[in-house]
A and B are shown apart, each in its own frame.
Chain A
Amino acid sequence: MTTTLLEVDDLRHTYRTRQGDQTVLDGINFDVQRGEFVSIVGPSGCGKTTLLRTLSGLLRPTGGTITLSGNVITGVPKGLAMVFQDYRASLFPWRRVGANVEFPLLGRVSKAERRARTLESLSAVGLADAADKYAWQLSGGMQQRVAIARALAMRPELLLMDEPFASVDAQTRSDLEDLLLRVREQFDMTILFVTHDVDESVYLSTRVLSLSKAPTVKTADVPVPLTFPRDQIHTRENPSFVETRSEVARLIRQASPGGLAAAAGAH
């Protein structure tokens, strides 16, 4: 039995600046079922961050509606957590790691419960020992894990992630991918994951959406026929993986023929 968690209907956003209006989202439609892991891929600047900001209620779109658990979103909704593209600007340097993870729970749950959840979340990302350090004393990959732990501590129904692994090295990145799949099982979340990496999107997801360059529309909606748990070596060798990967890449290509070259020519 699947139920719809998120419905996005004809979502539009136009940034109004002094240089003129810039339409970034030009009528986006999709649904996300409970328990899905949906990846969104698209070229840089196509509006992926803009899309997540509207979904998280941080940005009011100029058109369309977003419905989460049957309620139309007007502000930041409950049951949603976000991992930002730039973890450096989202962890508080004056709070220790544990206090950062605990932050969203302040004034909401009891102290004992906060402690327990903080410890559980940090353990889930393998950082139980780092609770008393400061974020800036950790490596980039560890900081991103802290940001994930903070999101987990909120026990969100829907986790939004904006290119969370873009600025870590390849090895750390695949470790973080597997970690994410593990905590997804453990915490039973629906995840919407933005990336520009087609391989990563297929490896992690149950479904991949692709976006065109701005003004952005959805160009593909491809289910991933792979089972969990996944494995960095075997899954990536699996013929279905290779096939899905190629299909997504082809669809992206068709949507913007010529890729960057065409984009450059258009300017």
Chain B
Amino acid sequence: MSSTVQPNERMLRIAVGWCGALLLLVAWQLATANSGSMFFPTPLEIFDDLRERWFSDGLAGGFLTDAFFVDVTPSLRRLLIGLLVAWSVGISLGVLLGRIPAVAHTVEPILHFMRALPGPVLLPLALVLVGTGTTMRVSLIAFGAVWPVLFNTYSAVRRVPEGYLETARTAKVSRLRTLFQVILPAASTGIFAGIRVSTSLGIILLIASELVAASDGIGFGLTQAQRSFQLLPMVVHRRSVAARLPVQPRLERDRVRRSALAPAPDGSPGLTTPKGCR
């Protein structure tokens, strides 16, 4: 009985969610349409510019423009690689810490110390150590995004109910099977929470790293537009950042908007460094 009700309920919830988003867009359109200020383009203008910039055919033909391959794909690649590294390192290390208390006691203080370093602050250091290539951006993303995954995995693994583990032990199931079929599934909620947080952190770090010494990517496009005082492309770029990975768009939008309109009021190194660099 209830199984026939549940899908409907879910559909309804999804529909309500989309309606909310749509309403917001309409409100935004109405609010900006009459403002006349060049600082606040309407969503329709933004969408138009976005389509023209990236999704009308380019010289090589096809659906995507050449600008798309300069702005978007390099960023996506960096983000993906960086996050994959962060996730695999974070999960493995988290499981290790969670399962072997001796290891946890030894390295936990060091880890907390390292976590306390905010990712963007490491940017200058990363520049010096790893240079200005893709490796720098990927390692910055990986380093910054590893912590939420690591600590979430660690605490989730530690909280796996003893009953599950004892069941596995009395069943004489191998250690590997216990890891993959008991510990990881039991800890999965916590692990995924970490992955979610790490994704939005990764985006922040990606943009931050691309604001410095880059020749392509979203962050690069953003600085280009900012320098040439093109408001619309700027908005499009930061919008695309938020839309591409709708994991935690709010956090991302806030940060980029703040830094784009009034360069780094919070002293974040993201937007101030490129000027200094030149």
- The answer to the question of B162 belonging to the interface, with a C-beta cut-off of 8 Å to chain A, is yes
CB of A170 to closest CB in B, whole Å: 25
CA distance A56 to B168 in the complex (A): 12
Decide if A78 touches B172 in the complex (CB within 8 Å).
yes
Which of B172, B174, B182, B188 is packed against the most chain A CB atoms within 10 Å?
B172
- A80 engages B163 (CB within 8 Å): no
Surface stretch bound by B, among A4-12, A65-73, A100-108, A200-208: A100-108
Docked Cα-Cα span, A81 to B168, in Å, equals 11
CB distance from A159 to the nearest CB of B (A): 11
Closest to B162 in A: A89
Contact string against A for B residues 168-183, beta-carbon threshold 8 Å, 1 for contact and 0 otherwise: 0111111001000110
**A82 CB, min distance to chain B CBs, angstroms:** 5
Distance in angstroms from A95 CB to nearest chain B CB is 8
A103 & B169 in contact (Cβ 8 Å cutoff): no
B185 on the interface (CB 8 Å rule)? yes
Q: How many residues of B contact A (CB 8 A)?
A: 18
Is there a chain A Cβ closer than 8 Å to B164's Cβ? yes
Q: B174's closest neighbor in chain A, by CB? A: A107
Q: Which residues of B contact A81 (CB under 8 A)?
A: 170
Q: With A90-B167, A92-B182, A92-B185 as given contacts, are A103 and B162 in contact (CB-CB < 8 Å)?
A: no
Q: How far is the CB of A204 from chain B (nearest CB, A)?
A: 22
Q: How far is the CA of A81 from the CA of B167 in the complex (A)?
A: 9
The 8 Å CB contact of B169, one of A76, A86, A94, A107, is: A76
Interface of chain A residues 87 through 140 with chain B (CB within 8 A): 88-90, 92, 94, 103-104, 106-107
Instruction: Report whether A92 and B164 are in contact in the complex, using a CB–CB cutoff of 8 Å.
Output: yes
Check if A58 is an interface residue, CB within 8 A of chain B. yes
**Nearest B-chain residue to A59, judged by Cβ:** B166
* Interchain CA distance A45-B173 in the complex, whole Å: 30
The majority secondary structure among interface residues of chain B is helix
CB distance B173 to A107 under 8 Å? Answer: yes
Please tell me if A165 contacts chain B, counting CB pairs below 8 Å.
no
Most buried by A among B161, B164, B171: B171
Most chain B CB atoms below 10 A, which of A57, A86, A107: A107
Query: Given A84-B163, A92-B164, A58–B170 Cβ distance below 8 Å?
Result: yes
- Contact residue among A82, A88, A89 (Cβ-Cβ distance under 8 Å from B170): A82
List the A side residues contacting B166 at CB < 8 Å.
Answer: 58, 82, 84, 90
Contacts of B172 in A (CB 8 A): 76, 78, 104
Scan residues 246-273 of chain B and give those whose CB is less than 8 A from a CB of chain A.
Answer: none
Q: Using Cβ atoms and an 8 Å threshold, which residues of chain A touch B185?
A: 92, 94
Complex CA gap A106/B172 in Å reads: 10
The CA-CA distance from A78 to B169 in the complex, in Å, is 11
How many angstroms from the CA of A78 to the CA of B170 in the assembled complex? 9
Partner of A89, one of B163, B171, B188: B163
* With known contacts A92-B182, A106-B181, A107-B177, A154–B171 Cβ distance under 8 A: yes
Residues in A neighbouring B162, C-beta threshold 8 A:
89
- In the bound assembly, the distance between CA atoms of A103 and B174 in angstroms comes to 11
Whether the Cβ atoms of B177 and A106 lie closer than 8 Å is: yes
Chain B residues near A80 (CB-CB < 8 A): 170
Chain B residue contacts of A106, Cβ below 8 A: 173, 177, 181
- Contact at B170–A76, with CB atoms within 8 Å? yes
> Of all chain B residues, which has the CB nearest A103?
B171
Query: Per-residue 0/1 for B20-49: is the Cβ within 8 Å of any A Cβ (1 yes, 0 no)?
Result: 000000000000000000000000000000
Give chain A residues whose Cβ lies under 8 Å from the Cβ of B182: 92
Residues of B within 8 A of A78 (CB): 172
Q: Min CB distance, A64 to chain B, in Å? A: 20
16 contacts between A and B (CB under 8 A): A58-B166, A58-B169, A82-B170, A84-B163, A84-B166, A90-B163, A92-B167, A94-B186, A94-B188, A103-B167, A104-B170, A104-B172, A104-B173, A107-B174, A107-B177, A154-B171
What 8 pairs between A and B have smallest CB-CB spacing? A89-B163, A104-B171, A90-B163, A90-B167, A82-B170, A94-B185, A89-B161, A76-B169
Binding site for A on B (CB under 8 A): 161-164, 166-167, 169-174, 177, 181-182, 185-186, 188
